[in-house]
Structure 1
Amino acid sequence: MADQPARPVAVLIGPPGAGKTTVGCALAQVLGVDFVDTDALVETTSGRVISDIFVEDGEPAFRELELEATRSALGTPGVVALGGGAPMQPAIAELLADHKVVFLDVTIAHAAKRIGFDGSRPLLAVNPRAAWTKMMGERRPTYERLGTVRVDTGDRTPEEIVDDVRAGLTGLTGADQR
């Protein structure tokens, strides 16, 4: 029998400010596995920050780098956090089909407290609150469709969120598991 390819124990998706990186690091530590953040992977492999990629090369170039980072990350046996827009790419959504995907949900009030809507997030650079609300309205159906587990992160500690993620992943059985 051939060895199974490495797979993440969980893939975290959600909007900016949902806590994907913070929760992903905490979850990986609790589970004793590695953590991979695809945005950080893009920055490491390209040698540039995401906002510079957007400005210098445009969003399509960034999305291609994001797709390659996602393909790479999904081959690791840890916890993976995707950038907020990654699941909107049909190719990435297709890659997630057989994974345990956790949708970290958050309201704009809680997201704003966490990320402050600074200039490092290119898609939120102009009128960040309106842009976040519009973006979330467009992305929510995809997050909900892809998520096998949904966890609200608003006004909660990373430890509380990790507990809910673990309970949700443990509760996946039979037809619920991907």
Structure 2
Amino acid sequence: MQDLRNMNLLLYGYKKSGKSYYGLKVADKMHMNFIDTDLLVQDLYTKKHHKTLTCKEIVLHHGRQAFKDLEKEVIFSLDDIENTVIALGGATILDEKNVLHLKKIGSLVYLKTDKKTLMERILRGELPSYIDPENPIKSFEKMYEERLSIYEHLGSLIIDTSHKTEEQVTKLLCEHVHTLRGFNG
């Protein structure tokens, strides 16, 4: 029987790049499971502290390192996951140990979105903890530049969503799943 672990599709990219959105679409079309690691981090926090906090609240109340520790625990708990689309938190792949582990359980795919679109999406909603509310544009640009080269060098596939329809992006992701499953097309 084929090892299904390598059929996991691991979506990464900046916040608001569509990881969960496209992840759910692909999971539905390809009859796969779907996991959002940020939700797993929140669930793990709730289990440990008997209190519910969002990812942003975890960072604000306990610090970035506490969040990273929870995130690492979640990432390393995914060993037995099969046939799943996994939406990774935006900073998950900034940790080298996370990346090494993730590459063992699936195929990393970078959902690349143009800087202007990302900034508009992020600044339109509640600001994430890494954006300085006093200078949101400057802090967004700093974060974007810090992550860009890392994001672009890790994926086994990069899908630039900037000039594609939702259907085109979904189709490319589904084709990648077919490739992982060993089908042609």
What interval of TM-score do these two structures reach, taking the shorter chain for normalisation?
Answer: 0.7 to 0.9
For the residue of structure 1 that corresponds to 2:153, the secondary structure is helix
Question: 1:149 and 2:157 equivalent?
Answer: yes
1:15-94 correspondence runs (5 A): 15-46=14-45, 47-73=52-78, 75-77=80-82, 78-94=84-100
Q: Report if aligned partners of 2:123, 2:136 keep a CA contact under 8 Å in 1.
A: no
- Aligned counterpart, 1:116: 123
1:44-77 superposed Cα distances (whole Å, 9 cap, x missing partner): 2213111111111100000011111222245322
Question: Relative to 1, partners in 2 of residues 1:79 and 1:56: Cα closer, same or farther, differing over 3 Å?
Answer: same
The aligned amino acid for 2:92 is: A
The aligned amino acid for 2:90 is: G
Q: Report if aligned partners of 1:104, 1:151 keep a CA contact under 8 Å in 2.
A: yes
Aligned equivalents of 1:7, 1:169: Cα separation in 2: 10
Question: Relative to 1, partners in 2 of residues 1:172 and 1:30: Cα closer, same or farther, differing over 3 Å?
Answer: closer
Aligned equivalents of 1:83, 1:51: Cα separation in 2: 12
- Aligned counterpart, 1:106: 113
Q: Report if aligned partners of 2:6, 2:107 keep a CA contact under 8 Å in 1.
A: no
Q: Flag structure 1 segments of 5+ consecutive residues without an equivalent.
A: none
Return 7-16 or 26-35, whichever deviates more. 7-16
% identity of equivalent residues:
27
Q: Report if aligned partners of 2:7, 2:181 keep a CA contact under 8 Å in 1.
A: no
Larger radius of gyration: 2
CA RMSD of aligned residues (A): 2.5
1:136, distance to aligned residue in structure 2 (A): 2.0
Number of aligned residue pairs: 173
For the residue of structure 2 that corresponds to 1:11, the secondary structure is strand
TM-score, normalising length: structure 2 = 0.81
TM-score, normalising length: structure 1 = 0.84
Q: Flag structure 2 segments of 5+ consecutive residues without an equivalent.
A: 46-51
Aligned equivalents of 1:8, 1:169: Cα separation in 2: 7
